[in-house]
Structure 1
Amino acid sequence: MSERHTAATPVRRIEVRDAFADAAQPGCPAQFVYLGRQPILDRAGALNAYELLFRSGAHNYAEVGDDAQATAQVVAHTLGGIGVPAVLGPHRGFVNIDRALLFNDIVHLMPPECFVLEILETVTFDAPLARRLSELRRVGFQVALDDVSELSDELIEALPYSDIVKIDFLETRRAALPELAATVRGHGKTLLAEKVETREDFSLARELGFDLFQGYFFARPQVLAAPRSRSLRPGLLRLLALLSCDAGIFELEAELKLNPSVVVQLLRLVNSSAFGLGRNIASLREAIIATGTRQIARWAQLLLYANSGDLSWRADPLVQLAGTRSRFMELAANWLRPSDDEFADAAFMTGIFSLVHVVVGSTPRTALEKLGLAPQIREAIVSGGGELGVLLRVAEVAGEGGDAASIAAAPDAPAGFATLTPDVLSELNLSAAAWFGAHVVEAST
């Protein structure tokens, strides 16, 4: 990352919404979400991009305890809390990302044309990472290597899988800079000089052929803020209770009218191109009919995982995990039994409810006691039993980047599961992530 230190610096707060005109009141930081951004300039001095930085409050310095959580909040605040147009405009945003998040499909919540994945220097380069970076670059992401300070074998190995190399001007020996810059440039990569703090460093970087520049010499980070959204969870719980009882359209309409925030999400969902309706839906009753109770139930279940604390539901890792896992299980069930819609529906439900205990802070057994789930779904989650239990285990391991194929091919696995080969599982994972990313991002913009 490009911040030199954590000492407090003067805040330049940008107003991004009319509701923020009066600014945050001292002592009430929970009412707002915060984000830092630092300009990245080109050789002509024009704005090229921003690096997006974690901020827990209006103070202009980072207090990061967990890299993955910090990145998740940066993404959440950019996509949902403040909004991509207000944060980035027409430019790209560089986002710090560690190994765990690289292999987590939260990255697919970010539009590739808007974000650059900035690989932290702590990430070890190996064959799985190379494959993952290749996948992400194929779908349009640019990859930047962060905090490079020496010419190493690992750097040479990683260059084919990157687009931009950020060279740290505070850490790199001046005598080593020419060879380092020439090597990176010789591989056709964009050179970015970071932590440039003096005119001399800027001149040297230009002479060595650097393309982009970032540092305190040009600008310190700015702090952006926006009012925090309220949680949707109470209304969703009531809606799910009605759906579980096969409530009619009039009952659903009456409940939804009491929850404007849920209605907004429903209308955004049904009006998105993901539904392919070719027309906008304005009426609440029309939205219910067009969407169908089955789809409403699925998205209500997914939105239930929204974090009522700091993260927007659109980029909360728990929402992402529940969504991709349930879709993965549905796709896998369709692969195993192409004509069995009931099995696919049960697989989706198993994936969704496999994490509900996290939401309510309980055990799986206790959390599922009063939900009225089908016995095979409850058994799969609580004890891992039955075909759905094995499929859930496959989904869990596949989501963690583990050897899920060995579970599917085990001697005691259900018949047909051996067809879930590594190639099939990889394709299902990517399809699940793409489905979730496309629906959530479109439905929330």
Structure 2
Amino acid sequence: MISDFITRQPIFNQNMVIKAYELLYRHNHVNHFPDICQEHATRSIITDFHLDIKQQLVGDTKAFINFTQQAIIQGLPYALDPTKVVIEVLESTTPSLGLIQALQKLHHKGYTLALDDYIPHQSWAECYPYISYIKFDLQQFSIADAGYFISQLEHQHIQFIAEKIETKRAYLQAKQQGFNLFQGYYLSRPELLYKLPLNHNYRHAFIAHYQTLTCNTSATHNPLPTSHKNPVIGFMSDQTMVNQICVK
């Protein structure tokens, strides 16, 4: 149940300043999402994010974390401090009434929301007032079509993230089309981080927090309490770890 790795990928503004990191689940040193339940991946990320007392994962920025529609409806985002995260909605064809109501409640509670891998559809228009970010996967949706959508959308509070930018040309085109933020291999590859338990309490703390998320989050609708004062986990770049082993 406990993985040894986690990945983060920076999200940059137009001045190439890191404004946030997307946190991604990794089961091992292979830097790709494994064939596992998305719900488990989200709960694992939330658990390690909460245990990261030293805030090594994202520093002073925010963490973008993916949630399925069902997890949002069940209230899983409420386990997190709304000032530290952006809740990414994994899009399906159409949002259910339950999801729309859940997003409205999260918005009113101060949570920041994003639509991930967005394909414009009228059924999502009711959600726009509650959404702060819309992410377009430029490998799935053309930059020109995204730019047209950006120019036509009336909700001026929404910022747009160009995702999977893999060339300089795509980056420059995305800037011209009105994107505010940028993410992709051309700017920075996802950084694989190795988890470093700092004492014997990490495994116990992880399991306890994970089980709380599984059993009680939807009922409490409150951020997880901090049950420990001393750090139980740190993080090291996988490449740094490899280099240290090679030197030895």
Range of TM-score over shorter length: 0.7 to 0.9
Deviation at 1:169, TM superposition (A): 0.9
User: C-alpha displacement at 1:161, in angstroms?
Assistant: 2.3
Shift of 1:146: 0.4
1:309-337: CA deviation from partner (whole Å, max 9, x where unpaired):
xx814531x3235445xxxxxxxxxxxxx
**TM-score, normalised via structure 1 length:** 0.47
1:201 to 147, 156, 170: 170
Higher relative contact order, chain-length normalized (CA < 8 Å, sep 6+):
2
| 2:104 counterpart of 1:320 | no
Higher helix share: 1
C-alpha RMSD of matched pairs (Å)? 2.7
1:433 maps to what in 2? 221
Judged with a 3 Å threshold, the aligned counterparts in structure 2 of structure 1 residues 185 and 45 are, in CA distance, closer, same or farther, namely farther
Give the whole-Å Cα distance in 2 for the aligned partners of 1:174 and 1:121: 19
Aligned pair count reads 229
- Cα distance between partner residues in 2 of 1:200 and 1:47: 20
| CA distance in 1 between partners of 2:214 and 2:178 (Å) | 42
Alignment map for 1:236-251 (pairs within 5 Å): none
* TM superposition shift of 1:162: 0.9
TM (norm. structure 2) is 0.81
Give ranges in structure 1 of 5+ residues lacking alignment.
1-29, 232-260, 262-305, 325-398, 400-428
State how far apart, in whole Å, the 1-side matches of 2:35 and 2:19 are.
26
| CA displacement 1:271-324 (0-9 Å, x = unmatched) | xxxxxxxxxxxxxxxxxxxxxxxxxxxxxxxxxxx986xx814531x3235445
Equivalent AA in structure 1 for residue 138 of structure 2: F
Give the Cα separation in 2 of the matches to 1:158 and 1:206. Answer: 25
1:191-243 deviation line (CA, Å, top 9, x unaligned): 11111111111111111221100011101100112234888xxxxxxxxxxxx
Q: Alpha-carbon deviations, 1:369-416, whole Å to 9, x = none? A: xxxxxxxxxxxxxxxxxxxxxxxxxxxxxx5xxxxxxxxxxxxxxxxx
Aligned pairs (5 A) from 1:40-59: 40-59=11-30
1:183–1:315 CA distance, 2 compared to 1 (3 A): farther
Matched, 1:127 2:20: no
| 8 Å CA contact retained: 1:99, 1:123 | no
Q: Distance in 1 between matches of 2:94 and 2:54?
A: 30
Deviation at 1:444, TM superposition (A): 3.4
Paired residue for 2:226?
442
Match of 2:145 among 172, 176, 188: 176
Aligned runs of 1:8-47 on 2, under 5 Å?
A: 33-47=4-18
Counterparts in 2 of 1:305-384, with a 5 A limit? 312-313=206-207, 315-316=209-210, 318-323=211-216
Deviation at 1:83, TM superposition (A): 4.2
Task: From the superposition, tell whether residues 122 and 229 of structure 1 become closer, same or farther in structure 2 (CA, over 3 Å).
Answer: farther
Distance 1:192 1:174 in 2: 11
Relative to structure 1, the CA distance from residue 183 to residue 126 in structure 2 (aligned partners, 3 Å threshold; closer, same or farther) is: farther
CA distance in 2, matches of 1:60, 1:185: 38
1:240-279 pair list within 5 angstroms: none
Of 43, 46, 56, 1:72 maps to 43
CA contact 2:94–2:124 (8 Å) conserved in 1 = no
Q: Provide the residue aligned with 2:244 in structure 1.
A: none
**Matched residue of 2:170: which SS?**
helix
Between 131-140 and 220-229, report the one with greater CA deviation: 220-229
2:181 aligns with: 212
Which string of whole-angstrom CA distances, capped at 9 and with x for unpartnered residues, describes residues 345-391 of structure 1? xxxxxxxxxxxxxxxxxxxxxxxxxxxxxxxxxxxxxxxxxxxxxxx
Query: Residue by residue, what CA displacement relative to the aligned partner does 1:229-266 show, whole Å, maximum 9, x if unpaired?
Result: 888xxxxxxxxxxxxxxxxxxxxxxxxxxxxx5xxxxx
Report if the CA contact (8 A) 1:35-1:223 is conserved.
yes
**Which residue identity lines up with residue 148 of structure 1 in the other structure?**
Y
Distance in 2, matches of 1:114 and 1:78, equals 10
Is the radius of gyration larger for structure 1 or structure 2? Answer: 1
Q: CA deviation at 1:186?
A: 4.4
Quick one: distance in 2 between partners of 1:155 and 1:322? 30
CA distance in 1 between counterparts of 2:101 and 2:28 reads 37
**C-alpha distance after superposition, 1:143-199 (max 9, x if no partner):** 0000013x3212323212211000111111344233212134644311111111111
Q: How many Å separate the matches in 1 of 2:94 and 2:105?
A: 17
Matched, 1:141 2:141: no
Which structure 2 segments of 5+ residues have no match? 230-248
Residue 135 of structure 2 corresponds to residue 166 of structure 1 = yes
Q: Is the 8 A contact 2:143 2:174 kept in 1?
A: no
